[in-house]
Chains A and B, each alone.
Chain A
Amino acid sequence: MISGKSNNVSISSQLLMSLGPHSDCGCVRSQRTMIHFILLFSRQGKLRLQKWYTTIADREKKKVIRDMLMLVLARPPRSSNFIQWRDLKIVYKRYASLYFCAGLENQDNELLALEVLHRYVELLDKYFGNVCELDIIFNFEKAYFILDEFLMGGEVLETSKVAVGGCLEDADTLQEVQKNTMDEYMNKPAY
């Protein structure tokens, strides 16, 4: 008879031993935020903005950027806007000459992410007035400031366009006014 029928071989189900920290995919997995990163790049593969919402080494960032460029720029024109990459969902959309690309946690709502990207474009458009890629190139720090009023820590911060626009205006005013009258409007720190 086959020895396989003896009790020795009936394998009892053992619980999986603990595996240790999830390591492989280079740190993108260490924090569970909604959005892991936002990248803006041109059709020629020039990076125009990079925002990272997880702690990740410089070398790894470069790898991710390279992968994103490769994945997104290779997509045929009428494909879906979602790509499965490692253990993240990549959501991207092309606006004129710029690709807006976000890396999402696997259980997140891709359709909402498309709305997030769209909202960001609307905010840029409102601020710059008919925004184009050059605006973002020459005023990149403004693009970051706008992003930081809309998203924070990988999550949506403010859902009202008007509110975001208002804050940006105020902050810019503060900056301008200060330039003209040095420390006048700037109170001394409370400390």
Chain B
Amino acid sequence: MLQHSYTHTAMSPSVPLQEMIRAIRSARTQCEERGVIQRECAAIRAQFRQADNGGRSHNLAKLLYVHMLGYPAHFGQMECVRMIASSRYSEKRVGYLGAMMLLDEKQDASLLITNSIKNDLSHSNQYVQSLALCTLACMGSAEMCRDLAPEIDRLLRASNSYIKKKAALCAVHIVRKVHELGELFAPAARSLLSEKNHGVLHGAVVLITELCERSSESLERFRKTVPDLVQIMKGLVISGYSPEHDVAGISDPFLQVRLLRLLRILGRNNETASDAMNDLLAQVATNTDSTKTVGNAVLYETVLTVLDIKSESGLRVLAVNILGRFLLNNDRNIRYIAMTSLQKIVGTDHNAVQRHRGTIVDCLKDQDASVKRRALDLSLALVSASNIRSMMKELLLFLSSCPPELRSQAANGIFTAAERYAPSKRWHIDTILHVLITAGGDVRDETVPNLIQLITNTSELHCYTVHKLYRALLSDISQQSLVQVACWCIGEYGDLLLRGDCQEVEPMQVCEDDVLDALETVLQSHMSSTATRGFALTATMKLSTRITDNVDRIRSIVSIYGSCIDLELQQRAVEYNALFKKYDHMRAAVLERMPVIERNSSGLINGDPTGEPVKEVQPSKVKTEVSLPLPQAADQTCDLLDLLSSSEQQPQSPPAAGSSILTQPLGTDCSAGRDLLDLLGGLEPTPPPTAVTVYEKDGVTLTIVCEKQSDSAMTVTLTGFNSSDCDVSSFTLQAAVPKSVQLHMKAPSGDSLPAGGAAKVTQVVLLNNPNKVNLKMRIRVSYSCRGSTVQETVQVDSFPGL
């Protein structure tokens, strides 16, 4: 660290500002720079302490430079106060600059300059007045504003143009700080509209805009000025070339845009006002030159105004067409803002936006990430039953090359669109498969059960589906969701696969060994997750009733996994082994074809196909539980059936006890799980209630906290939370429980989840389980986000704290 003796430098004459800057810039290291700055600051401090020596403004300027580099400069605050009070213009100028840089309303020293500002507002020299006005508008606190408001009002009326325009913007700041003072400035603002000076006019328009946005009475009052505003605007649009205000052929675009914005606020929700400005808006929209950015800025504001007021339909079409033209513009900025605006109106003017669908879809291929994002949002909003095929082609193309941060949104958007508008089942399945192959890692977890359900429902395509999935499996086993679905299908429809005769795919001779090879590859691959391997093992097992020659191979695979280190696989393998040995007579019935899974509107599916390994209990305990003879298992599954039949509303009579265990191959550890839950309950004392997340999607989460009230009663608190950056509204929850359990839902705390987690929604559910049945709860979450509705169902199998 460089150390310097301060006494030495305090005596030397102060270095001029520019020389100091040179010295700082020539420092080669950060440390050296710090040293120079420390020296200078010490000198400056010493100078501040001395009496007036004519170089004060330089010293303060030096300090301000140092401040801009990021070094502390608070010791200059009092010097600012002193300089502002000086009688020299140069010192006032730097003093006020320092005040704006170093002081804000939170600093105590800012109060000290109130008096100086007050004096300078009445100074005879307009440049001094201007300094005071500028500083007040920059950092004036509420008290200062209240104090000086009458003075500003005076300046608004009786001064020259230069001061008037500054006073107007100062008044804007005052109104922002102290809303009630708006009343004070309204009359003066009104009269300023008749000024000719553009600066004053602009200030007046900004002030009126501010007043109208703050109070509805002002809004009513200023609506009467619409004709005057229209006149002023017309003057700007059709007037000849004015050299002073011209920017690339547009006369004072800044004023034009502010006028258009004020007209928007005045015309909103008001027929009369909107009518009065119709012609003008049409004129601006047609006559403004759109070759340069400045013209487009005015057109953009015009379009925003037209779309926001009660304009006639012809004008609206004109506005949307302008946006359509913007979409074709070479300038990326213009394309970007066009899409932002179209997104705002895609709900209300859907057909108009549809006309530009082609261009929007082209923007998916743009290089710029911001443009791509906008194009994706808009494209998803434009998908409809009539364009689903062509849109999906484009969206799938986009998915294969889109930036990683957009993949999840794209994949999920595609699924929602496919679900809503699929023209045929085969198309739907193909689309989902395509997404899984391209972006399987970015899809939601529910995709797997949803797809399985879709497949079982499409019995005419079983052959086709299993062939396609088999081929996909052969080429790539890294996408877990795809592999899981493929395994399930192969296990279920393996006989169709082996028969080999499917019209819709190329013929391919598949023998039993090939299929078993494929499944074994999945089982052994390090890329496969535990859940995936579970699928593969179960599929292998199922094939034992669908193939004829290689049952021994299956037997050996199953027995090998009986000593697998993974708990989940081991459990399954042991169970399947038992099925081979002791319960072989039941095997065929157990492993027969699944019944069609009833689909309700939210894509509900019974059971949890991805069985979660339960890690807390020791393996030996699990083994003993699992060797429970299966007839007993039937009793436990009857309870499950209760739950399942009540939610599925299946009219069929309860199937034979043996086949009810069909739920097990899907992976629910219900029977063992329940016992384990009991074990867990016995092992530890009731832990403090912890929130468990039961649902999470795109930043929206739902957690539950359970508290046991008595032997049979408990309270479940559901909490919804939104940590994403878009607002969620109409957030509702519904719950279902097994038949014998009583449920009472209290009213929720609200139904909106603003972005960023500012608030949450809680809802309390009271449960009474007098028969002590296996307690499960199904919760349906639905909400609106970004204009689309989301509806999901989650099943809670274990309640923490029970």
A155 at interface (Cβ–Cβ under 8 A)? yes
Q: Which residues of A contact B252 (CB under 8 A)?
A: 159
A contact residues around B336 at 8 Å (CB): 80, 82
| Cβ contacts under 8 Å, B122 to chain A | 189-191
Cα–Cα, bound, A156→B255 (Å): 9
In chain A, residues 28-70, which have Cβ atoms closer than 8 Å to a Cβ of chain B? 31-33, 47-50, 53, 55-57, 62
Nearest A residue to B752, CB-CB: A16
Decide: A153 and B138 in contact? CB cutoff 8 A. Answer: yes
B254 touches A175 (CB 8 A): no
- Identify 15 residue pairs between A and B in the complex whose beta-carbon atoms are under 8 Å apart, listed by A's number: A11-B732, A14-B750, A33-B176, A55-B139, A80-B368, A82-B333, A115-B293, A137-B25, A145-B93, A153-B138, A156-B202, A159-B245, A159-B254, A167-B162, A182-B88
**C-alpha gap A3/B775 in the complex (Å):** 14
The residues of B that contact A137 with a CB separation of less than 8 Å are 21, 25
Bound form: Cα–Cα A179–B90 in Å: 8
Q: Which of B199, B367, B737 contacts A160 (CB 8 A)?
A: B199
Which residues between 71 and 120 of chain A lie within 8 Å of chain B, taking CB atoms?
A: 76, 78-84, 109-112, 114-116, 119
**Bound CA–CA A161/B243 (angstroms):** 10
Given contacts A24-B756, A82-B370, A111-B333, 13 further A-B contacts (CB under 8 A): A4-B736, A4-B743, A19-B758, A32-B176, A47-B68, A57-B106, A111-B293, A144-B97, A153-B169, A157-B165, A182-B88, A187-B123, A191-B122
Nearest neighbor of B731 in chain A, beta-carbon distance: A11
Contact residues of B with A, CB < 8 Å? 18, 21, 25, 61, 64-65, 68-70, 87-90, 93-94, 97, 104-106, 119-120, 122-125, 127, 130, 133-134, 137-139, 162, 165-166, 169-170, 172-173, 176, 198-199, 202-203, 206, 213, 244-245, 247, 252-255, 257-258, 261, 293-294, 296-297, 300-301, 304, 332-337, 367-371, 646-647, 730, 732-737, 741-745, 747-752, 754, 756, 758-759, 780
Whether A148 pairs with B165 at a CB distance below 8 angstroms is: no
Q: Which of A1, A48, A81, A109 has the most CB of B within 10 A?
A: A109
B428 to chain A, nearest CB (A): 27
A115 in contact with B173 given A4-B734, A16-B750, A178-B89 (CB within 8 Å): no
Give the chain B neighbours of A152 by CB distance below 8 A. Answer: 133-134, 137-138, 166, 169-170
Contact A4 B165 (CB under 8 A): no
Q: Which residues of A contact B304 (CB under 8 A)?
A: 109
Q: In the bound complex, what is the Cα–Cα distance between A145 and B733 (angstroms)?
A: 58
Partner of A109, one of B297, B335, B368: B297
Inter-chain CA distance A79–B372, complex, in Å, is: 11
Chain B residues near A81: list those with CB within 8 A: 333
Indicate if the CB atoms of B90 and A178 lie closer than 8 Å.
yes
Q: Is A163 an interface residue (CB 8 A)?
A: yes
Closest to A16 in B: B752
Complexed CA–CA distance, A170 and B160 (Å): 15
Q: When A and B form their complex, which 4 residue pairs have the shortest distance between CB atoms, in order from nearest? A: A111-B297, A3-B743, A153-B137, A16-B752
How many Å from the CB of B263 to the closest CB on chain A? 14
Q: Determine the residue in chain B with the shortest Cβ distance to A170.
A: B127
Q: Which residues of A contact B743 (CB under 8 A)?
A: 3-4, 6, 8-9
Chain A positions within 8 Å of B, measured between CB atoms, are 1-4, 6, 8-9, 11-17, 19, 22-24, 31-33, 47-50, 53, 55-57, 62, 76, 78-84, 109-112, 114-116, 119, 137-138, 140-141, 144-145, 148, 152-153, 155-163, 167, 170-171, 174-175, 178-179, 182-183, 186-191
B297-A112 in contact (CB<8A)? yes
Q: How many whole Å from A119's CB to the nearest CB in chain B? A: 8
Write out the residue numbers on chain B whose beta carbons fall within 8 Å of the beta carbon of A78. 332, 367-368
Are B119 and A189 within 8 A (Cβ)?
yes
Query: Complex formed: what's the CA distance from A49 to B335 in Å?
Result: 31
- A157→B744 contact, CB < 8 A: no
- Cα distance, A11 to B751, chains bound together (Å): 9
Bound-state CA distance A167–B125 (Å) is: 13
- In the complex, A177 Cα to B528 Cα: how many Å? 82
Contact between chains at A157 and B166 (CB < 8 Å): yes
Could you tell me the distance between the alpha carbons of A62 and B261 in the complex, rounded to whole angstroms?
A: 33
**Contacts of B368 on A, CB cut-off 8 Å?**
78-80
Q: Is the CB of A79 within 8 A of B253?
A: no
Q: How far is the CA of A161 from the CA of B122 in the complex (A)?
A: 27
B-chain residues with CB within 8 Å of residue A156 when the two chains form the complex: 202, 254, 258
Is there an interface contact between A2 and B646, defined as CB atoms closer than 8 Å?
yes
Q: Are A2 and B736 in contact (CB under 8 A)?
A: yes
B169 touches A109 (CB 8 A): no
- The answer to whether A183 and B87 have CB atoms under 8 Å apart is yes
Return B326 CB to nearest CB of chain A, in Å.
10
B753's closest neighbor in chain A, by CB?
A16
A188 to B89 alpha-carbon distance, docked (Å): 11
Which single residue of chain B is at the shortest CB-CB distance from A177?
B89
A25 to B331, CA, bound (A): 31
Which of chain B's residues has its CB closest to A190's CB? B122
Cβ contact within 8 Å between A163 and B244: yes
| Contact assessment for A174 and B734 in the assembled complex, using a CB-CB cutoff below 8 Å | no
Identify the closest chain A residue to B732 (Cβ): A11
Residue contact B780 to A4, C-beta cutoff 8 Å = yes
B247 → chain A, closest Cβ, in Å?
7
The answer for the CA separation of A156 and B741 in the assembled complex, in Å, is 67
A4-B780, A111-B333, A152-B166 are known contacts. Are A14 and B747 too (CB-CB below 8 A)? yes
* Contact for B124 among A1, A114, A190, CB less than 8 A: A190
Partner among A119, A145, A186 whose Cβ is within 8 Å of the Cβ of B88: A186
Q: A183-B87, A187-B124 are in contact. Are A9 and B734 (CB under 8 A)?
A: yes
C-alpha gap A74/B743 in the complex (Å): 54
